[in-house]
Structure formats: structure tokens, C-alpha cells
Amino acid sequence: MRVPNFVIASAIATATALKSPGPGPNALARTPPMGWMSWQVFRCETDCGSHPDACINEKLYMQMADAMSEGGYLAAGYNQVSIDDCWEDLKGRNADNELVADPTRFPSGMKALGDHMHAKKVRFGTYSDAGTMTCGGFPGSKGYEEVDAKTFASWGVDYLKLDGCYNNKAGFVHDYPAMGTALHASGRDIVYSCSWPAYLGGDESAKPFDAMINAGCNLWRNWIDIQCDWGVLDRIIEHWGRYGEVMVAAAGPGHWHDPDMLLIGAGCLTLDEERTQMAIWSIAAAPLIMGNDLRQVPVVSKTILLNKDAIAVDQDSLGKMGKRLQAASSSTQIWARELSGGDVAVALYNREAGSPAGIREIAEHKYCAKAKAMGGEPGFGFSLLACRDAVANDTDCASGYFHYSRSYNGQCKCALDACDNRVGGESYNIYKLDPNAGPAGSNITIVFSDVGLQGQACVYDIWAQEKVGEFQGSYTAQNVSFHGTAFLRLSSCDSIADAIV
């Protein structure tokens, strides 16, 4: 087996970078950061009276640090809890121009919160904005970079996400390097996450990543905000697929592209979709920043998050970002990443939509009038799998027919019949419970020479965490579920024992 050559090594354009302002690259984030961040689930909920366990306050972050440390996440490598927007006092800065936390929601103060995290061996992340205000309308850091960097350092902050609202393309060129310089001068090692490219549109080939590296950015949010929804996740995966080639050139130890938070365990994806996100993020050398409620992650999702072989791909010491091999999108995709020691990680991803096990899709029919909504909120917020289980457990739905609409935020209703003769109303996909309906999927083949491996390779299945065997020339993953991914590590057969610990 020879060294894979499918990832074209490309140096950062140092000549250009040297002309850009900023402190230059620091020595931090040699592998993509791993942790948790509040935005995806808790947003800007500041009403702690009505939402005592789900508002942005010190208790929330302390509990997340506790859950990270005690729930096995820390041991697996997730070592950071990050505040996002809406932590600040809306009244503004204090007399010394320093940012202050909302005194009602953070009565012990930020230093105490950082101490709590550090006592749990958890790193402390916080959030500000390169503009005059944060996206949520709280005070921003523009013009206050030095004082803010000093304040963060005095609180023991280990990571800063600097958002880009209330600023613009011309302002970023000065303001992101200004914060990078200030963080460097603070004397504390603070990993710097820049949202700069997320505000420069969709063309990744037109973004000044070299200037970001020179500004001291260790990672950057490239594009749209993730939402708890397969459709948005799918768009982000497609964007990474489309621009992989140009993005690979700017990624490496100390500077990573960030496709946004992991939805795994947040309750909006099927398990196949959760595995797909974990696989693609790991191939893409993306930060693994969870956007769930760590206090209540289902065991099956936690197993995905803690999969040590997936994490080993993400955190591989070679630090080479992987990418989709095909230029154009197709329903079955091959993503690959070169790893240290000559191994290659491949994700065989089935993008096609379809039904998971136990469900037969019978056709598209009109709205079924004799329907009953499932779940708490009338009929909303169910995944197809959750809908299947709700129907199976409800005696009123003995017919086994149900309709489900992803576009209506997971609307799920049982139907008393197949609704064949109904007309009018909106159309839904009608399904029927069918215990014999096996998981439908596609076979996807990886040809070893396409990822620079000649002859024979040993195939290790990352989800099953077991060696599959030795194969000559190619390997076919059978029946890869719709929206699912076979995630493999390919090695020369004699090295597999060393590579997989």
C-alpha cells in the first residue's frame, strides 16, 4: 500500500498572509476543538422565571460542565462548554468599559463560572461580536477589543467565538485581526473562533482564509446557521461537498473550517442521520461542538457521540481535512480523508430519501380527515422514526396507517385508513407500519485506488467497531440506509492492529 495521494497538499499563501494585519498563527487547536455550545438548543432564552432549566444563566452552564465531566464526554475528548449569545447585561458596559454578565442570571459572575468549569477539567468558552452589537442585540466588542480580551483572560476564558453581526466586509478586515492581536497580548491561551466567512456569502473560493489565519483565527464558521432539521444539515453537507477542494487548502492544525454544531442527541434526526453528521464532520476535520441538552441525550445518540473510532478520525494528528470525491452531488456519495500512518477514512453516504425499517411508504395521498394528532404539541416536531413508534404504541391507530410531513416540522398523524378516496386538502406522504419492511438502502462501493490505496486493504467498520476483513481492490457496503452512512477506516492489513486501539 502506498501513501494516499488523493488529498492535494496545498500550502497556505504565506506571502499574502504576511501582508495581512494580525498576530499571525498561534499554537492552539492543533486538532479541531471538541465541546458543547448553548445556541442550538437554548438560543436567547432569558426568561428564567418561565424556563428555569432552559434559560441562559450560570446554572445552565454549570450543569452542562457537570454533565460533560460525569457523563463520559470529557473522557472521550469533549472538553469545553461554551456560552453563546445573550449572556451580557443589556444595560451595557461598566464604568471601566468592561463587559458585564447579566447580574440576575449570572449572580456569581463569570470568573466563578470559569472556576467551576476548570474544577471539572472543562474549558470555558464565551461569545462576543466583532460589531457594535451581538446578533441578539447585546453589547459588541468593536472598538473594545483590548479591554474585552483582558476581561476574558481575567475570567479564565479558554475560547472565544466572535460573531459578525453589526459589522461588514470592510470592517472585518480590521476588527478580526484586532481581537486576535488583543487575545494574543492578553497573555492567556484563548482559542479564537471567527465568524468572519459566515458573513461573506456562499462562495468559499472567494473568502480570505489566509487573512483569517494571520488574524489568529483557529477556526471559523463558514456558512449558514445549523437548525435542528435534516433539510438544513443536508444543505450544509452539500455545501461542504461542493467546495471541498478549495476548503481543504485552508484547513490544517490550528485553523479549521466549522460547519456548525452537531445535532446528535437533540431529537430532530433519525439515528442514521445522526451517524451521517458524525461521519461527515469527522471526515471534514470539523470541530465537534455538540448542540444538544447534555442532561438528556438518548443513549443511542450518546453512543454515536462517544464512538472512539469516529473521534479518532476527526482528531487525527495529520490534520488533513477530507472531502467528497465527486464534484457534483449525487444520491450516493463517497467522502474520504487521509489519516496518519497511511490509513484512509471513508464515508459512504446515501443521500437518497426513503423509509427506515418497519415502515412502508404506500404512496402520496390527500389529507386524511379521520386523523389523530400524535405527540405533545398537536402533531408537530416528530421525526419519522418517532412517528412510527408513536403510531405503533397507540391503540387508536390500530390501522397502522399514518401520515408524516417533514416540511411541516415533522407533523405526524395516525390515519384510520389509507385515505385512498379522499380529495382536497394538502398532500402528505402516507405510510403503513410493516414489521417486515426491512431497512431499505443502497449498496455503495469504494474502489481502493480512488483513495490512493493499491491492491488489498483491511476494512474496519467504525459504527460496528469491528474489523470487517481484507478485500482486494474494492469493498461494497451493503444496504446503506437512506440518509445513512457506512463509515470505514481502510488500512494496510498488517497495520490495522496498531491503528485501531
Query: Closer CB to ligand GLA, residue 291 or residue 484?
Result: 291
With CB under 6 A as the contact rule, which of the stretches 93-101, 132-140, 373-381, 416-424 interacts with ligand GLA? 132-140
Strand 344-350 vs strand 332-338: parallel, antiparallel, or unpaired? antiparallel
By beta-carbon proximity to ligand GLA, the closer residue of 221 and 324 is 221
Nearest to 223 by CA among 241, 201, 243: 201
Among 84, 158, 293, 314, binds ligand GLA (CB under 6 A): 84
Interface with ligand GLA in residues 378-407 (CB under 6 A): none
Contact with ligand GLA (CB under 6 A) among 102, 145, 163, 343: 163
Q: How far is CA 220 from CA 14, 198, 211, 215, 449, in A?
A: 19, 8, 12, 11, 33
163 is catalytic: yes
Is residue 145 near ligand GLA by the rule CB under 6 A?
A: no
CB of 274 to ligand GLA, least distance (A): 20
84, 85, 102, 163: the catalytic one is 163
Burial 474-485 (b: 16+ CB within 10 A, else e): ebebeebbbbbb
Name the one range near ligand GLA by CB under 6 A: 134-142, 146-154, 250-258, 380-388.
134-142
**Residue 225 binds ligand GLA (CB under 6 A):** yes
434 labelled catalytic: no
Q: Residue 122 in contact with residue 80, Cβ under 8 Å? A: yes
The least CB distance from residue 40 to ligand GLA, in Å, is: 8
Could you tell me if 45 and 95 are in contact, meaning their C-beta atoms sit under 8 angstroms apart? no
Compute the least distance from the CB of residue 413 to ligand GLA, in Å: 33
Asked if residue 85 binds ligand GLA (CB under 6 A), the reply is yes
What is the Rg, in whole angstroms, of the alpha carbon atoms belonging to the chain?
A: 24
Whole-number Å distance between alpha carbons of 334 and 466: 21
Q: Do strands 371-373 and 359-366 pair parallel, antiparallel, or not at all (unpaired)?
A: unpaired
Report the Cα 130 to chain-centroid distance in Å: 23
- Residue 88 within binding range of ligand GLA, rule CB under 6 A: no
Question: How many CA atoms are closer than 13 Å to the CA of 443, on its beta-carbon side?
Answer: 5
CA angle at 237 for the pair 236 and 243, rounded to the nearest 5°: 90
258 part of the interface to ligand GLA, by CB under 6 A:
no
Shortest Cβ 142–ligand GLA spacing (Å): 15
Q: Does 135 bind ligand GLA (CB under 6 A)?
A: yes
β-bridge mates for residue 81, sequence order: 36, 124
Cα–Cα distance, 483 to 356 (Å, whole number): 9
Collapsing DSSP to helix, strand or coil, 449 comes out as helix
CB of 39 to ligand GLA, least distance (A): 5
Nearer to ligand GLA, 194 or 385 (CB): 194
State whether residue 480 is helix, strand or coil.
Answer: strand
Single-letter amino acid code for the residue at 297: V
CB of 9 to ligand GLA, least distance (A): 31
Nearer to ligand GLA, 226 or 457 (CB): 226
C-beta of 22 vs 136, nearer to ligand GLA: 136
Interacting positions 182-201 with ligand GLA (CB under 6 A): 195, 198
* Pairwise CA distance, residues 138 & 131, whole Å: 10
Q: Is 102 in the site for ligand GLA (CB under 6 A)?
A: no
Q: Which residue of the set 66, 115, 225, 229 is catalytic?
A: 225
Q: Which of 36, 39, 281, 431 binds ligand GLA (CB under 6 A)?
A: 39
Give the separation between CA 16 and CA 175, rounded to whole angstroms.
18
Nearer to ligand GLA, 268 or 414 (CB): 268
Shortest Cβ 84–ligand GLA spacing (Å) = 5
User: Among residues 4, 25, 71, 136, which is the contact residue for ligand GLA, using CB under 6 A?
Assistant: 136
Q: CA 273 to CA 109: how far, in whole Å?
A: 39
Stretch that binds ligand GLA, among 133-141, 288-296, 308-316, 347-355 (CB under 6 A): 133-141
Q: Which residues contact 394 (CB under 8 A, 6 or more apart)?
A: 372, 374, 414
Q: Which residues pair with 139 in a beta bridge?
A: 133
The stretch among 96-104, 129-137, 364-372, 444-452 that binds ligand GLA (CB under 6 A) is 129-137
Q: What's the rounded Cα separation, in Å, for the pair 411 and 443?
A: 30
Residues at the interface with ligand GLA (CB under 6 A)? 39, 84-85, 134-136, 163, 195, 198, 221, 225
- State the catalytic residues: 163, 225
